[in-house]
Amino acid sequence: MEFKASVIADFLHGTVEGDPDATVSAFAKIEEGHPGALSFLANPKYEKYLYETASGIVIINKAQKLERPVKCTLIRVDDAYRSFASLLELYASSQQEKSGREEPVFVAASVTLGENIFIGAFSYIAGNARIGNNVKIHQQVYIGENVAIGENTVLYPGVKIYHDCIIGSDCMIHSGAVIGADGFGFAPQNAADYKKIPQIGNVVIEDRVEIGANTCIDRATMGSTIIRKGVKLDNLIQVAHNVEIGENTVIAAQSGISGSCKVGRNCMFAGQVGLAGHLAIADGVKIGAQSGINASIKKPDSVILGSPGMDYQDCIKSYVVVRRLPDLKKKVDELERIIKGKDS
C-alpha cells in the first residue's frame, strides 16, 4: 500500500516540509534509503545521511536544524523515534490480522474460545483452557490444561505454555519460548543422587508483556512466578522458579535470574546479567552487561557494573587499576631486585 506524506503527518500529528503528495510504500534505514521508502532521523550520528538519502520521506524532530537543502520530503514531529515506532507498530499489526482456523489442529471440547481468534496448523489446546478475544495462536503452539490467555495476545510459532499458567492481555510471546516448565528443584539424597521436588505452582504473566524467542520462565515450586505489567524480556533469557519481575522492567538477552529473586519496577538489565538466588533488586536499578550480582541491591536507581557487581563509579576506578597491573608488576619486580641487591 502507498501512503502520502500528508496522511502520515496527520496520523503522527506532524507537519510536512516539501511535497505533501509524496508517496511511500516501504520502510528503510536512512543510510539505505531508496525511492518510495520512509525513513527517520533521531540519532545525531546519522545526520549526514539526511542530505544523501534517496528515501522519499524522512521523519525528523521539530528541533532538527538543516545545514543545507534536502532532496526528500520531511515530516517534523515532537519525537522522531517514537513516531517511527508508532508507524512500525501499525504496520506490524496489519500483518497479523488473521482469523479462523487452519487444519489440522486439536482443540479440546472444554476449551472456551473468544471471538476473532486465529489458530494455526498443528496447534494443540488442552482441556479447560480459556482464550480471550482477538488472540493469535500461530502454528505448532501448545497450550496446556487450565491455561488462561487474555485478549489481543499473540503466540508465535512453537510457543509452549504448560498447564495452569495465566497470560494477560496485549502480550506477545515469540517462537520457542517455554512458559511454565519445572523449576530447578532437587534435594540431595546422598553423594550420588538427587530427589526431584515437585513444582506445583504456575506462571502468571500480566498485561502488555513481551517475551523473546527461546526464553524460559519456570513455574513456581509453590505459588507463582510473576511477570508484572509492561515487562519486556529479550531472547534467550532464563527466569527461574518463584521469581517476581516488577512492572516495566526490561532485560536483555542471555541474562539469568535465579530462583526466588524479586526484581523491582522500571529496572534495566543489559545482556548476560546474572543474579544469584533469593536476591532483592530495588526499583529503577540499572545493571551493565555481563555483571554478576551476588547480593541484594537496596538503593533505588543504582547503576551497577562488574562481577561481583558494584557501584558503577567504583567499578570504573577498579578497571583503571586493573589495566595498570602489568606496569605495577614491573615496578614491584624492580623494587625487589633493588632490595635484594642492597641485602647482598
Residue pair 230/209 in contact (Cβ under 8 Å)? The answer is yes
pLDDT in the model for residue 1: 74
Across the range 126-143, mean pLDDT stands at: 97
Q: How confident is the model at residue 236 (pLDDT cuts 50, 70, 90)?
A: very high
Q: How far apart are CA 151 and CA 92, in angstroms?
A: 17
- Hey, what CATH class is 3-95 in? alpha beta
Residue 243 has pLDDT above 90, yes or no: yes
Spell out the domain ranges in the chain: 3-95, 100-316
Residue 93 neighbours by CB distance under 10 Å: 11
- Mind listing the pLDDT tens digit for each residue in 191-234? 789 999 999 999 999 999 999 999 999 999 999 999 999 999 99
Q: CB within 8 A of 327, min separation 6: which ones?
A: none
Q: Which residue from 22, 94, 16, 88 is spatially nearest to 59, judged by alpha carbons? A: 16
User: Which residues are known catalytic residues?
Assistant: 241
- Tell me the β-bridge partners of 74: 17, 58
Share of the chain above pLDDT 90, in %: 84
pLDDT in the model for residue 96: 63
Residue 312 has pLDDT above 90, yes or no: no
pLDDT in the model for residue 65: 93
Architecture per CATH, 100-316: 3 Solenoid (2.160)
Across the range 171-177, mean pLDDT stands at: 98
How far lies 134's CA from each of 23, 98, 99, 155, in Å? 32, 9, 8, 11
82-91, 138-147, 256-265, range with the lowest pLDDT: 82-91
- Mind listing the pLDDT tens digit for each residue in 52-103? 999 999 999 999 999 999 999 999 999 999 999 999 888 877 766 778 899 9
For residues 89 and 176, the model is more confident at 176
* Amino acid sitting at position 19: D
Q: Give, in degrees to the nearest 5, the angle at Cα 8 between 7 and 12.
A: 120
Residue 343 has pLDDT above 70, yes or no: no
Instruction: Please state, rounded to an integer, the average pLDDT across all residues of the chain.
Output: 94
306-327 burial, b for 16+ CB within 10 Å, e for fewer? Answer: beebbebeebeeeeeeeeeeee
Instruction: State pTM to two decimals.
Output: 0.82
Q: CB within 8 A of 340, min separation 6: which ones?
A: none
Which single residue is written with the C-alpha cell 522458579?
241
Residue 284 has pLDDT above 70, yes or no: yes
